[in-house]
C-alpha cells in the first residue's frame, strides 16, 4: 500500500507537468521572461521536490521532478525552452560549477579505499575496541573529531565519516546516528570558527572591511550553531533519542542492524591487508588535512603576501580542496607501496573503487545543484528580499526572530546556506544601523537560520556529504535528523525573541543551554513512558 501511494504521488506530479506542457506549445518565440519570477511560485519547485523525497523516500526522481517543474516555470511552459533550461542552466551548469567538489569526492573515496585495502581501518577498529569502551565514548569521539576539523564542512563530513565508521560500527551505532553526529558538528563548528571557509563566505557578502569583524562579533549570538553542539553532547550523555532516530538506534543496539531500511553499504567493504597498522589510517588523514589547509591558503594568495586570515577570506574551496586532495592521494599511494602493504597495481585498483563509492553522493549533489539553479532562474532571492523589507517596517522588536525564520525557510527551500548569506546579509546590513548591537544580533540570526535550514534540507550539499560520510541512506539521514534540528531551531527562535530585549550574550547563552537540557529531560521522560 505504501509503495502504491508513493508511486501515485510521483505519477500525479509528473502527469500534471505533462498536461501543462502542451498549453505552451505555441508560446511566442524569442527571449523568455518567466511570469513566475520573483513570486511565491519561485519557491514551489524545491518545496515539491523536498515533499516528494520525504513522502516517497526516493530522492533521485523527486529531485528531477523539482528540476523539471523549475524549468517549466522558468520557460513559461514552453517545451523546447524547458528542455534547454533543464539541460544547460540546470544539469550542465551544476556539473561545471561543482566539478572541483566532484574531484575532491572521488579523490577522498580513493584514499578511503586505499586505507581499507591497506588494513588501516581494520587496525584502527581493533585499537578503538580496546580503548573506546562504550557507545557514549564512540559518539563523543566522533563529536570531538568533528569539532577539531573546522576548516571546511565538506572536508569535515567525509573525513570524520571515513575515520569513525569502524569505531561506531563496532559499538552498534546506527548509520543514521553517525550521519547526524557528522552533520551536527560540520556546519555549526565551521559557522563559529573564525578561520574556516564559511567565515570567508560571510566576509565576502558583508560590507568591505567589516566581514570578518561582524562574523566574530556575531559568534556568541549564533544560538542555533552553539546549541546544536550542546544538544549533541547532551543527547549522547543522557542517552536519549526520539522520533525516527529512536527506531534506528534500537535496531542497531538490539539486532545489530545499522541501517533499518534503505541502501546498505556492506558490499563496498574491502578485505584489508593483514600488515595494516593504525598509522596506515592516521598518516593519510594527517597528510590530507595538512596539505588541504596549505592549498586553501595558497589559492587565497598567502604566497603573494596575504595574511593567513586574508588568505582564507579570499580562498576558493572548489579549487583548494581538489588540489590538496590530489597531492595527498599521490603521497598516500607512494606511502602504501613503500610500506609494502599493497602493490602499485592494487593501489591503482582502489581509484575506481573509490569513485564507485562516491557515485550516489555525486548524483544527488548534481541534481540538488541543478534544482538550486532553477530556483535562481526564477528569482527566489528577489521575492525573499521583498518579504524581508516588508517585515522590517512593522515588526522591529521581533526582527531578529523573523530574520531567523526567513533564513531557515530560504536555506531549506534552496538547499544552500551560502546562497542564503548572499541574499539576506546585504538586507540585514541595510536594515540595522552600522555598528549597533541590533546589527550583530540580526547578522547572527541570518547565519544561524541559514545553518538550520541547511541541516533540514534534503537538497543541501552538506546534508548529502554527511550521508556519504556515514554511508547512510540519504532520506534516512534527513528524516532522522529533522526532529532534532527542528527542536534546536524552536529553542533558538525563543532566544532571538529574547535577544531583541536582552542584548547580552552572557545572559542569553546560559538561558539557551538550560532550555536545551530541560527540553531533553522532558523528551527522555516522554520516551521512557512510551517504552
User: Where along the chain do its domains lie?
Assistant: 2-97, 99-197+268-361
pLDDT in tens, 167-219: 888 888 999 999 999 999 988 988 887 766 566 667 656 665 566 677 778 88
Whether 66 and 370 have beta carbons less than 8 Å apart is answered as no
Q: Is 515 a residue whose pLDDT tops 90?
A: yes
Checking if the pLDDT of 33 tops 70, the result is no
Asked which of 18-22, 109-113, 253-257, 314-318 is least confident by mean pLDDT, the reply is: 18-22
User: Can you tell me the distance from the alpha carbon of 202 to that of 206, in angstroms, rounded to the nearest whole number?
Assistant: 6
* List of residues 6+ apart from 142 with CB closer than 8 A: 160, 164, 167, 168, 178, 181, 182, 185
Q: What is the pLDDT of residues 461-489, one digit of tens each?
A: 788 888 888 888 888 999 999 999 999 99
Q: Which residue has the higher pLDDT, 205 or 289?
A: 289
Q: Calculate the average pLDDT of the chain.
A: 80
Alpha-carbon distance values, 108 to 162, 353, 466 (Å): 9, 11, 14
Higher local confidence (pLDDT), 161 or 327: 327
Higher pLDDT, 127 or 229: 229
Within a 10 A sphere around the Cβ of 217, how many other Cβ atoms? 18
Q: What percent of the chain has pLDDT over 90?
A: 21
Q: Average pLDDT, stretch 81-102?
A: 82
Q: What is the pLDDT of residue 203?
A: 64
Residue 266 scores a pLDDT above 60: no
pLDDT score, position 531 = 60
Q: For the chain, report the end-to-end CA distance as a whole number of angstroms.
A: 28
Q: How far is CA 24 from CA 59, 75, 135, 238, in A?
A: 28, 9, 58, 58
Task: Supply the DSSP symbol for 194.
Answer: S
Give the position of cell 566539478.
99
Q: Is 445 helix (H, G, I), strand (E, B) or coil?
A: helix
Can you read off the three cell numbers belonging to residue 341? 602493504
Q: How far apart are CA 55 and CA 60, in angstroms?
A: 13
3-state secondary structure at position 231: helix
3-state secondary structure 274-337: CCCCCHHHHHHHHHHHHHHHHHHHHHCCHHHCCCHHHHHHHCCHHHHHHHHHHHHHHHHHHHHH
pLDDT band at 31 (very low <50, low <70, confident <90, very high): very low
Q: What is the DSSP string of 36-93?
A: TTTSGGGGHHHHHHHHHHHHHS-HHHHHHHHHHHHHHHHTTT-HHHHHHIIIIIIIIH
Alpha helices in 149-278 (DSSP H): 153-170, 175-191, 197-205, 211-218, 223-238, 244-255
Q: What is the pLDDT of residue 373?
A: 81
The mean pLDDT of 272-288, rounded to a whole number, is: 79
Higher pLDDT residue, 411 or 208? 411
Instruction: Tell whether the model's pLDDT for residue 459 goes beyond 50.
Output: yes
For residues 271-280, average pLDDT:
73
| Largest interatomic CA distance in the chain | 71
Instruction: Report d(CA 257, CA 414) in Å as an integer.
Output: 33
Compute the distance between CA of residue 444 and CA of residue 505 in angstroms, rounded to an integer: 11
Listed ranges 12-21, 32-41, 226-235, 456-465; the one with the highest mean pLDDT? 226-235
Query: Residues for the chain: how many in total?
Result: 531
Residue 268's pLDDT is: 43
Using alpha carbons, list the distances in angstroms from residue 5 to 19, 332, 480.
21, 49, 21
Reported confidence tier of residue 101, pLDDT bands at 50, 70, 90:
confident
Q: What is the pTM of this model?
A: 0.71
Residues 354-402: pLDDT tens digits? 788 777 767 777 877 787 788 778 877 677 666 666 655 556 668 888 8
* 292-310 per-position pLDDT tens digit: 888 888 888 888 888 777 7
Burial class (CB in 10 A: 0-12, 13-18, 19+), 410: buried
* CA angle (277 as vertex; 275, 283 as ends), nearest 5: 125
Q: Using 50, 70 and 90 to split pLDDT, how confident is the model at 23?
A: very low
Q: Please compute the mean of the pLDDT values over residues 86-99 and round it to a whole number.
A: 82
- Cα 174 to Cα 254: distance, rounded to the nearest angstrom: 11
Q: What Å distances lie between residue 107 and 165, 219, 269, 471, 526, CA to CA?
A: 18, 33, 17, 16, 45
C-alpha cell at 315: 580562498
CA angle (418 as vertex; 365, 224 as ends), nearest 5: 105
Report the helix count and the strand count for the chain, using DSSP H and E: 25, 0
- Residue 191: the pLDDT is 86
Cα–Cα distance measured from residue 362 to residue 305, given in angstroms and rounded to the nearest whole number = 36
CA distance 85 to 468: 29
Amino acid at each position: 500500500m505504501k509503495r502504491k501511494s508513493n508511486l501515485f504521488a510521483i505519477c500525479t506530479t509528473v502527469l500534471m507537468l505533462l498536461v501543462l506542457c502542451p498549453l505552451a506549445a505555441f508560446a511566442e518565440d524569442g527571449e523568455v521572461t518567466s511570469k513566475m519570477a520573483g513570486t511565491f511560485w519561485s519557491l514551489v519547485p524545491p518545496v515539491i521536490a523536498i515533499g516528494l523525497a520525504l513522502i516517497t523516500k526516493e530522492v533521485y526522481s523527486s529531485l528531477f521532478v523539482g528540476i523539471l517543474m523549475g524549468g517549466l516555470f522558468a520557460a513559461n511552459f514552453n517545451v523546447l525552452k524547458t528542455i534547454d533550461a533543464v539541460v544547460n542552466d540546470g544539469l550542465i551548469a551544476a556539473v561545471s560549477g561543482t566539478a572541483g567538489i566532484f574531484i575532491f569526492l572521488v579523490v577522498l573515496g580513493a584514499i578511503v579505499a586505499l586505507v581499507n585495502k591497506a588494513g588501516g581501518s581494520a587496525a584502527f577498529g581493533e585499537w578503538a575496541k580496546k580503548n573506546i569502551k562504550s557507545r557514549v565514548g564512540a559518539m563523543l569521539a566522533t563529536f570531538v573529531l568533528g569539532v577539531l576539523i573546522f576548516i571546511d564542512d565538506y572536508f569535515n563530513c567525509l573525513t570524520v565519516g571515513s575515520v569513525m565508521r569502524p569505531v561506531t560500527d563496532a559499538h552498534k551505532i546506527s548509520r543514521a546516528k553517525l550521519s547526524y553526529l557528522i552533520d551536527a558538528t560540520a556546519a555549526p563548528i565551521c559557522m563559529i570558527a573564525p578561520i574556516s571557509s564559511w567565515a570567508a563566505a560571510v566576509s565576502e557578502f558583508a560590507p568591505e572591511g567589516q566581514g570578518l569583524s561582524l562574523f566574530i562579533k556575531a559568534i556568541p549570538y549564533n544560538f542555533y550553531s552553539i546549541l546544536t553542539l550542546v544538544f549533541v553532547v547532551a543527547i549522547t550523555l543522557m542517552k536519549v533519542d526520539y522520533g525516527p532516530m529512536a527506531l534506528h538506534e534500537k535496531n542497531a543496539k538490539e539486532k545489530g542492524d545499522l541501517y533499518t531500511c534503505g541502501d546498505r553499504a556492506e558490499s563496498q567493504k574491502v578485505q584489508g591487508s593483514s600488515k595494516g597498522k593504525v598509522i596506515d589510517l592516521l598518516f593519510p588523514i594527517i597528510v590530507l588535512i595538512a596539505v588541504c589547509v596549505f592549498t586553501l591558503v595558497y589559492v587565497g594568495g598567502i604566497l603573494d603576501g596575504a595574511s593567513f586570515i586574508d588568505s582564507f577570506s579570499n580562498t576558493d574551496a572548489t579549487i583548494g580542496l581538489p588540489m590538496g586532495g590530489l597531492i595527498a592521494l599521490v603521497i598516500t599511494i607512494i606511502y602504501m607501496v613503500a610500506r609494502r602493504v599493497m602493490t602499485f597495481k592494487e593501489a591503482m585498483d582502489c581509484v575506481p573503487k573509490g569513485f564507485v563509492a562516491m557515485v550516489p553522493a555525486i548524483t544527488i549533489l548534481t541534481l540538488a545543484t541543478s534544482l538550486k539553479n532553477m530556483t535562481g532562474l526564477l528569482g527566489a532571492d528577489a521575492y525573499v528580499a521583498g518579504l524581508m523589507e516588508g517585515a522590517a517596517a512593522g515588526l522591529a522588536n521581533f526582527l531578529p526572530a523573523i530574520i531567523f525564520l526567513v533564513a531557515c525557510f530560504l536555506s531549506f527551500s534552496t538547499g544552500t546556506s551560502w546562497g542564503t548569506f548572499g541574499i539576506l546579509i546585504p538586507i540585514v546590513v541595510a536594515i540595522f544601523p552600522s555598528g549597533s548591537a541590533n546589527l550583530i544580533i540580526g547578522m547572527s540570526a541570518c547565519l544561524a537560520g541559514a545553518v538550520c535550514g541547511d541541516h533540514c534540507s534534503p537538497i543541501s550539499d552538506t546534508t548529502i556529504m554527511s550521508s556519504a560520510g556515514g554511508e547512510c541512506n540519504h532520506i534516512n539521514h534527513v528524516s532522522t535528523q529533522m526532529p532534532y534540528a527542528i527542536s534546536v531551531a524552536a529553542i533558538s527562535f525563543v532566544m532571538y525573541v529574547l535577544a531583541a530585549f536582552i542584548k547580552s550574550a552572557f545572559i542569553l547563552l546560559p538561558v539557551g543551554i538550560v532550555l536545551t537540557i530541560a527540553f531533553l529531560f522532558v523528551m527522555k521522560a516522554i520516551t521512557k513512558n512510551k517504552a
